[in-house]
Structure 1
Amino acid sequence: MNDPREVLLAEARRRGESLAALSGMLGRNSSYLGQYVTRGSPRVLDARDRKLLAQHLGVDEVRLGASVRDAALRLPVLSVAASAGPGSLVEDEVVVGVGTVDAVLARSLGLRHGLASVIGVRGDSMAPGILDGDQLVVNEADRRPDATGAVYVIRIDEAIMVKRVRREAGGLVATSDNPTADPVPSLPIEVIGRVVWLMRRPG
């Protein structure tokens, strides 16, 4: 099913929503999407309408006719929380939802489909920059810290952590930003990805 009109119609039926109702959600007249599907007018959906529909229906914007370059990037939201404290043990990473990042922002952050995710934070060892309850966008294509260092999600002895990581002559070194935090274990570090964006609920 590659035709955006067929995708829209199928997804609307799957959710039990009429094209007229979806048109109203967009602030359009009730026949807007019906004419798009049956008559091809408009020929392509307005970018704003396409984005809203993709978010509402839970589908990739590309399936509704966006170019890959213009489509918002859909990221898996993982149930695993990267501990900013002593570390949380995890057995696997379970997808519990999907988040979206605007196409322009995704490009500026260097994010690519299948190589980025959203994870939550527990603990305060990276305070004040990263707090308990924050959500982090992680670029899993960036796994090579340099000598300057940056904030990464890492795994140490099966514990998932968010730490500041830099490369030294002897290998990778991970530290916490909070000076009162417990020291990071001196064990091999597996880099999962670089933290490139932070999301926080308003206080």
Structure 2
Amino acid sequence: MNNSIDVIDRLKEIHGADHYKHLAEILGVSKSGVQNWKDRNVIPYKEVCTTALEKGISLQWLLTGKGDKMESGSNAQQFTVPHYAIQASAGGGSLVEAEKIEQHLTLSRDWLAREGISSTDLIGIYAQGDSMEPTIHDGDSLLIDRTKNIIGSDGGIYVINYEGELFVKRVQKLLDGKIAVTSDNKNHMSIEISKHDLDRLTIIGRVVWFGRKVGRSYVN
């Protein structure tokens, strides 16, 4: 059986943490949370898996201390992202009907680093409809960074949940505090959400890549 203290100590080593409080700050958890892991012999699997993927560390080594510390070969330079059988409407609105992982997208860690994309909470989903054409087409794959869920004045393309429906749109915060939700296809209506109605809006994440299949290849 894996000992949680040994696992936590290996996390400390990889992250260069001087003490458990420092580790908690790095991992974005409370100090009491780390203490609970130790006291209850709980393995923090989410943090272990995230560390392994981000740092190119062997998951086996993190959990057991056995084998090589670093992943070897091409696996260390790759990162896989779950792609769900979910559609975000680029048209009139689409409810999330399934959350089944359909496939995995394999990305280069170097590419993620160059683009400044966090690997901690990425998912892939599909676009549906034509309201974001010519930028995004029906059936395109969207790579969503769920850590980017705050809308700024510069805006961007986001996946949002508005009144229970999932959309991919350009979203921007206006000077008066309203949120503008617009389509690239001018044949589709754009809306402004008032400050009083923002509780009806949830930002899922920012679209950081999109592509479509040509045979087996993705292009964007």
TM interval, shorter chain, is 0.5 to 0.7
Matched with 1:172 is: 179
Equivalent position of 1:126 in the other structure: 132
Q: Is the 8 A contact 1:153 1:194 kept in 2?
A: yes
CA distances 1:136-175 after superposition (whole Å, capped 9, x unpaired) = 1111111112112100000001111100000112232211
CA contact (8 A) 1:62 1:71 kept: no
1:82 to 75, 88, 99: 88
Unaligned runs of 5+ in 2: 1-52, 59-69, 216-220
Q: Provide TM-score, normalisation by structure 2.
A: 0.58
Paired residue secondary structure (2:133): coil
Specify the code of the residue in structure 2 equivalent to 1:179. K
Kindly indicate whether residue 207 of structure 2 is the aligned counterpart of residue 201 of structure 1.
no
Give the structure 2 partner of residue 106 of structure 1: 112
Give the whole-Å Cα distance in 1 for the aligned partners of 2:136 and 2:171.
15
TM-score of the aligned structures, taking structure 1 as reference length: 0.62
Shift of residue 86, structure 1, vs aligned partner: 0.8
Pairing of 1:14-93 with structure 2 (within 5 A): 62-63=57-58, 65-66=71-72, 70-91=76-97, 93=99
Structure 1, gaps ≥5 residues long: 1-59
DSSP-derived class of the 1:177 partner: coil
Report SS of the residue matched to 1:121.
Answer: strand
* C-alpha RMSD of matched pairs (Å): 2.6
SS in 1 for 2:214: coil
Whole-angstrom CA distance in 1 between matches of 2:106 and 2:152: 29
Number of corresponding residues: 143
SS of alignment partner, residue 105 of structure 1:
helix
The higher relative CO (CA closer than 8 Å, separation ≥ 6) is in 1
CA-CA distance at 1:98 after TM superposition: 1.5
Match of 1:182 among 180, 189, 199: 189
Distance in 1, matches of 2:144 and 2:104, equals 14
Partner Cα distance (1:141, 1:175) in 2: 22
Give 3-state SS (helix, strand or coil) of 1:195's partner. Answer: strand
Shift of 1:90: 1.6
Please report how far the alpha carbon of residue 183 of structure 1 lies from its aligned counterpart in structure 2 after TM superposition: 3.8
Cα distance in structure 2, aligned partners of 1:190 and 1:163: 13
What is the CA–CA distance in structure 2 between the aligned matches of 1:88 and 1:110, rounded to whole Å? Answer: 30
Once the two structures are overlaid, the 10-residue window that deviates more, 184-193 or 128-137, is: 184-193
Alpha-carbon distance in 2 for matches of 1:103, 1:175: 32
What is the DSSP-based 3-state SS (H/G/I as helix, E as strand, rest coil) of the residue aligned with 1:77? strand
SS at match of 2:77: coil
Could you tell me which residue of structure 2 aligns to residue 54 of structure 1? none
Assess if the C-alpha contact under 8 Å between 1:176 and 1:184 holds in 2. Answer: no
